[in-house]
Structure 1
Amino acid sequence: MALPVSHRVPFRGRRTAVAPATCAQRHMWNLIQRQLPDAAFYNVCHWVDLPGRGTAQDLLAVFAELLGRHESLRTGFSRAPDGTLVQRVAETGWFEAEVWAIGPGEDKESVLHAWRLRMRHSPFEPARAPLVRFMVAVVDGAPVLAGFCVSHLAADLASLRLLADEVTRLLDAASFGRPFPPAVPSRQPVEQAWFERSPRGRALLRRAHAYWRRQLASAPATLFPVRDGTGGQSAGTDGASTAAVRHSAALDSRAVALALPVLARHWRVSTSAVLLTVVAQFLGRRAGSSSCTLRLLTANRADPELRGTVANLHAEVAVTIDLEGDRVEDVARRAFAACTTAYANGLYDPDEVTDLFEATTRERGAPVDLSYCFNDIRAGHGSPEASGDRTRLVSGADLRTAMADTVVASHEFEEGETFFLVIDDEEPGWIRVVLNADSRALTPSEVRGFLYDVERTLVEHAEHAVADGR
């Protein structure tokens, strides 16, 4: 494989600025500190295939334009003398980019894999902006792939998708000699920090604080009680006597992709709520609990001013699913309502929530473990009725036939929680469900079994819905 050519490219923005860190930035800073000495744990890579137009220099100019437009990409972070976390936006500077020339017998996927592997072990220095690196793969001088690696302090997944779309549009303009299209107006992180300190922002934070207090008051102590005969602590508690070993597996399923819209229409909820309902029921059953409290990842982009923002805005917000009752559709509707409320409280002060955890521990005399996350990263996972989606008729035979194509295999996904489930639909017609779990909670074989159980249960529910004729 050919070696890349490294470039240091200048960038220029519209201003320099200093402001307190936002709530989401402080939350991510705390998560990064928790993973030290692995300072690259929260490096995030994303990439976009390109049509093979223009030149590598065109793409480097596009990258420079991105840094000029999006202040989060040229922001560093440090502690102020009083200990508060501060964001510092640089007006000018340099960024790193690599250009890989793909020769005969090579492919862009291999180049991307090698670059991603190196980025996974190449930490950023938080105080030194920009917290982003780029790569270009070219064939015969034309770019066929662009990649970017960012610190999660600088961008979340929604931002990376925005950047991928913007790279394509800007390169298209550059390759045809046209001016860059204007940037989408959006709120920058500095303005977000001041919004959070405004009367409106403080009201939202107070509401979220009260919401978290209610969630912690009703949450089960753990969803993974100590196993008989282990002699250890439940996974996720500080007193665990053995080091955490985590395992990931991915289920790729056509059957789940067919079942979800059937059930969403039948139960009158979103497809995400369908998945959450089944997952929560399994977790509650394992814990012997009539409710399940876990954390949802929310993009926090309901405000129109934030929909085009490139920054880290995401948060993990607690949600409690009431599992009482015999009708699964009733559980699903309660889950859908609970998720709607949770997402509305996605903006919160992470330090105040930490204080609430500590206060709850003192009141109960034992910690509350919420090291369980549900992350549906699909771009569209709402109600079929709301989206106008007219799902084709699916038969029970279709569902069972699709199950024969299911594949479950080990996956490279890493997280730091006891239980972390991710749902994606990158491949049309398929759903991928990835589960990363602490082996003290779920062994590798149990991780795979959990995924198969989720698929089987969704298919059985969908078969019943089809039989009902709705």
Structure 2
Amino acid sequence: MDEISRRTVVVEFAGARGGEAPLTWGQSSIWRLTTWRGDDDPYFNMPWVLPVYGRRDLGVVLGAVRRLVERHETLRTNFRRGGGGMVQCVARVGRLVVEVVEVAEGGGVGPMGVAREVAVGLAARVFDYAGEVPVRCAVVMVGGRPRAVAFGLSHLAVDGGALDLLAADWRGLLAGVEGPDPGWQPMDQAVFEREGAGVERGERAFRHWRAVLEGVPRSMFDYPPGLGEVPRFIRVRMESVALGVAAEVLAARWRVSSASVLTTASAVLLSVLTGHRRVVMQLIAANRHDPRIGVLVGPAAQDGIFALELPEGTLSEATRLGHRQALTAYRHALYEPLRLMAMREELGRERGGPIDLSAYFNDTRGGGDWPDLPAVEPPGDPAAIAALTERTTFSPAGSWEHVDATTVQFITGQARHTCELHLLADTAYLPRATVHALLRGMETLLVRAVAEDVPLDTVAALCGITPVERPPGWERSRQGSAGETAQAPDASGPVVAGTAGG
């Protein structure tokens, strides 16, 4: 679809209130990541598209955009440094410049495809957080009629859960029907966290994190790094229908969530690779089980701490234990980030070195399942599920020279028809062959588990994972309840990278 013209229109908005408040804990978590990458890096910007439902004219669509910004304060918020730290500044009135992109009819990619391309462009530029609202917008027109709307959004304004709420609001606004007042906005959340019941909740999370950190390995990756690739960090995507079907079968069989199946399998594979029986990972928690935060349009996600002492038994036993540990991690994922960082630094000094929490699992599926997976006949048949592995594909999904505080991160994609599993890895510790082996190993492990309950001591051979070999001087030692730590090598000792086969 060839582009014909571009022009801009100005949408003036007037919300119910403006004001200033400290950052919420969710905003603070994103702000730290955003500033770590530098002022000229748009890594945490989010491209997003919405369809235009029905035959609407441009005035109606622009009116719906205006009401979206007026209803949700996060879309008209600046972020500035105040006397006591960063603050959110909500503008009651303002102007949003909207691009109108007119394209010819009959193109190949369709209006939504064009909108996705436009959205990527809108998100490719950094935001001026102090002087610019955290949303950019364009309307894609075909034959003089609006067909889709493209957005570039700052992660400081929204997360995945917030996008779901905005999408639900959008259809009604196009029809001229508004839902209930949003009611709970980021400024309200900031007060709740500092003056309301959120204070005690934050204290409980803080105590839980401290107790867990006192007993986990100081690092899962306590072996010398190699040179790595250039760029050093890579992300590989695996699309596996077999993995999705197997995860859902096992979740139903073991009465856990498919997220817990994938999280535990990730922990098992990391245990096999690194030799640690106690695995520690951070889980990205949506934090939306609280009814107030559930309707909040703004960033609410934070990290939860997941520690799993793997039993000597089978994958089903590990997964039931992992499910309980994951629920505990999500329950304690609302806290003041800067205070938690200070506590981690203090514990690191007490334990003789920094506590490395650079392994992550992030489930980005909106509903926690794959609603459009193909049916398997007969349902749950191991042979039929194993046959689905022939459809599995791998593809590169990006590379970067620097990624904050990550050695490995398992990420589920948002595809509805297949399990889209990404692995982001530091190639100095996990070479490219290891990344592919872990992804394929996840599929192999869960597909086999449909047929038989896999003993954990057989996973290495089953999945083709070669445990890391530490050179002389790099031996793990146990320091009481403080968990496993690595002995430093001799000055003359060799420096080699651990590898995994497969």
Q: TM-score, normalised by structure 1?
A: 0.88
Amino acid of the structure 1 residue aligned with 2:450: A
1:76/1:130 contact within 8 Å kept: yes
Q: Does 1:422 align with 2:416?
A: no
Match of 1:132 in 2: 135
Structure 1 residues 197-206 or 59-68, which shifts more? 197-206
- Of residues 376, 397, 401, the one that matches 2:387 is 401
- Of residues 284, 298, 321, the one that matches 1:311 is 298
1:52/1:143 contact within 8 Å kept: no
- Of residues 268, 276, 281, the one that matches 1:294 is 281
Match of 1:162 in 2: 165
Q: Does 1:436 align with 2:438?
A: no
Alignment of 1:256-267 (within 5 A): 256-267=243-254
Match of 2:445 in 1: 457
SS at match of 2:443: helix
Per-residue deviation, residues 55-100 of structure 1 (Å, max 9, x unmatched) = 2332111111011000111111111123x11111100111132222
Per-residue deviation, residues 341-361 of structure 1 (Å, max 9, x unmatched) = 111111101011110111122
Amino acid of the structure 1 residue aligned with 2:151: F
Amino acid of the structure 2 residue aligned with 1:404: E
Q: Offset at 1:322?
A: 1.7
2:49/2:116 contact within 8 Å kept: no
Alignment of 1:352-431 (within 5 A): 352-381=339-368, 393-412=379-398, 416=404, 417-428=406-417, 430-431=418-419
Q: Does 1:333 align with 2:320?
A: yes
Match of 2:221 in 1: 224
Distance 1:119 1:438 in 2: 29
**Cα distance change, pair 211–382 in 1 and its aligned pair in 2 (3 A):** farther
Match of 1:182 in 2: 179
Distance 1:81 1:60 in 2: 37
SS at match of 1:264: helix
2:14/2:94 contact within 8 Å kept: yes
Per-residue deviation, residues 89-135 of structure 1 (Å, max 9, x unmatched) = 10011113222222143533552353244234311111124211112
Q: Offset at 1:265?
A: 2.0
Match of 2:9 in 1: 7
**Cα distance change, pair 194–326 in 1 and its aligned pair in 2 (3 A):** same
Structure 1 unmatched runs, 5+: 174-178, 236-241, 385-389
Q: Offset at 1:227?
A: 4.1
Amino acid of the structure 1 residue aligned with 2:114: V
Per-residue deviation, residues 307-342 of structure 1 (Å, max 9, x unmatched) = 222111111121112212222111111111111111
1:424/1:433 contact within 8 Å kept: yes
Match of 1:345 in 2: 332
Per-residue deviation, residues 122-161 of structure 1 (Å, max 9, x unmatched) = 1111112421111222222222222222111111111112
Amino acid of the structure 2 residue aligned with 1:464: E
Match of 2:241 in 1: 254
**Cα distance change, pair 180–110 in 1 and its aligned pair in 2 (3 A):** closer
Q: Offset at 1:379?
A: 2.3
Alignment of 1:267-278 (within 5 A): 267-278=254-265
Q: Does 1:151 align with 2:160?
A: no
SS at match of 2:214: helix
**Cα distance change, pair 334–220 in 1 and its aligned pair in 2 (3 A):** same
1:90/1:129 contact within 8 Å kept: no
Amino acid of the structure 2 residue aligned with 1:27: S
| Cα RMSD, aligned residues only | 2.6
2:281/2:307 contact within 8 Å kept: yes
Amino acid of the structure 1 residue aligned with 2:288: R
Q: Offset at 1:445?
A: 3.0
**Cα distance change, pair 122–443 in 1 and its aligned pair in 2 (3 A):** same
Q: TM-score, normalised by structure 2?
A: 0.83
Match of 1:80 in 2: 82
SS at match of 1:309: coil
Amino acid of the structure 2 residue aligned with 1:151: S
Amino acid of the structure 1 residue aligned with 2:290: D
**Cα distance change, pair 458–425 in 1 and its aligned pair in 2 (3 A):** farther
Distance 1:119 1:444 in 2: 32
**Cα distance change, pair 192–65 in 1 and its aligned pair in 2 (3 A):** same
Match of 2:486 in 1: none
Per-residue deviation, residues 396-418 of structure 1 (Å, max 9, x unmatched) = 22112111111111114876422
Structure 2 unmatched runs, 5+: 455-502
Distance 2:230 2:379 in 1: 49
Amino acid of the structure 2 residue aligned with 1:146: V
Amino acid of the structure 2 residue aligned with 1:169: G
- Of residues 16, 24, 28, the one that matches 2:18 is 16
**Percent of counterpart pairs with the same letter?**
29
**Cα distance change, pair 326–299 in 1 and its aligned pair in 2 (3 A):** same
Distance 2:262 2:256 in 1: 10
Distance 1:38 1:463 in 2: 50
1:291/1:324 contact within 8 Å kept: no
Match of 2:271 in 1: 284
SS at match of 1:404: helix
Match of 1:387 in 2: none
Structure 1 residues 161-170 or 297-306, which shifts more? 161-170
- Of residues 188, 191, 194, the one that matches 2:191 is 194
**Cα distance change, pair 46–412 in 1 and its aligned pair in 2 (3 A):** farther
Distance 1:40 1:183 in 2: 34
